[in-house]
Copies of this chain bind each other. A is one copy, B any other.
Amino acid sequence: MREFLAARSHAIDTSEIRRVFDLAAKIPNPLNLSIGQPDFPVPQPVKEAIAKAIVDNKTGYTQTAGLPALREAIVEFLAEKTGFRYHPDHTIVSTGVASILFLLFQALIEKDDAVLLLDPYFLIYPALVRYHGARQFTIPEDFGEAEIATLEAELAQKGIKLKLIIYASPSNPTGKILNRLQLALLAELAEKHDAVIAADEIYAAFDYENQHVSMASLAPARTLTLNGFSKSHALTGLRVGYLAAPPRFAEIVQKMITLQQYTMVCAPQPAQWGAITALKTPIHEELKTMKRRRDFVIDKLRMVTTLASPDGAFYVYPKVPVDSAQFVAKAIERRLLLVPGYIFSANRNYVRISYATREDILEEGCAVFCGLVEELTTGVSNETI
């Protein structure tokens, strides 16, 4: 039989992750701490804006790059947050940050280009690096000057210039927010290499101690800022994300817009009107709830393991005594669903716990997690005592 699939398509695969989800789908009444989306509903004003767009027949194509009113509102939002005023013409709205990432890689990355990730990384980054035949370099997310120096030495020795530095702060899966010194080190690195920085701020609304600093406030001339409404306003299923570029990178965003004409065409129009309202709609109560849950989970987990308190997002990322694949399989036997760390890192001994879920499930889930860690650490099963 003829081989139909294009060679490039073999570079991506989800069979390992799917195996976990297939196992999970068979569990009745699971303790699901694997979910990557908020459990709160879309805020009422945003719902109303979306509903109004439908009633008002705002249901046709929008401009390829997004509604002008939304692009203006994004520029205002980012100016207030970062102190840097992007130009609306240098912004693009697409069907979620995932779509933005794909358009960015298609426009920017070709075979053998060097891309720097922070480990642990959002799982789409390495997948896109592989898919585009690029070379992946990583430094740990708690890097300092020493790790940058080591990386620089390796790159210099191989004669490689970085083309793209991409990270999420707050991080998925760890919740870590990069500090000013770390941002300055990355900015300096980008300058030396004449590289693009892609700052993925999709979790920036979940910043429990007001620590988040945007790269665009430190190094605006080299920084693409990526964000969206899936996490902050629970619009995961409505598909709106965006990217803003400084003038130096105008041609990148222009090419992304051109490519969008041949792919997603535009982001859904009613959701774009919802996004305009979302930019004016704070989520104070939702944040308080999330922070309370974070503190609860951290307290519980510290009884069996050491871990840093995550600064933001809605995940904790504890170490487990065995390979994460094995740990997750054992957790599933006890109805507990987690995401194995090996999809986020070269280090396989962590798992991601999401606390974007009901407190009673969190409490029971944490108890199962702690029991399993203790059992695997001591080799004694609580169930058999």
Contact = CB atoms under 8 A, between A and B. Distances in A.
Contacts of A249: 4
Contacts of A269: 237-238
Contact of A9 (B12, B102, B255): B255
A265 B269 CA distance: 17
10 contacts: A6-B108, A9-B259, A12-B259, A61-B237, A95-B268, A102-B262, A239-B266, A268-B268, A268-B271, A270-B270
A6 B110 contact: yes
Contacts of A266: 237, 239
A235 interface: yes
A125 B54 CA distance: 31
A239 B127 CA distance: 25
Contact of A107 (B5, B113, B252): B5
A60 interface: yes
Interface in A249-287: 249, 251-252, 255, 258-259, 261-271
A340 to B, nearest CB: 16
A371 to B, nearest CB: 30
Nearest to A124: B262
B270 A238 contact: yes
B50 A37 contact: no
A291 interface: no
B47 A262 contact: no
Given A109-B6, A270-B238, A127 B62 contact: no
A385 interface: no
A12 to B, nearest CB: 6
Interface in A59-100: 59-62, 95-96, 98-99
Contact of A239 (B131, B196, B239): B239
Contact of A261 (B14, B57, B194, B271): B14
A37 B60 contact: yes
Contacts of A139: none
A55 interface: yes
A59 B238 contact: yes
A148 interface: no
Contacts of A51: 51, 54-55
A14 B256 CA distance: 12
A239 B262 contact: no
Interface string A213-241: 00000000000000000000011111100
A138 interface: no
A216 to B, nearest CB: 18
A41 interface: yes
A268 B239 contact: yes
Interface in A2-46: 2, 4-9, 12-14, 37, 41-42
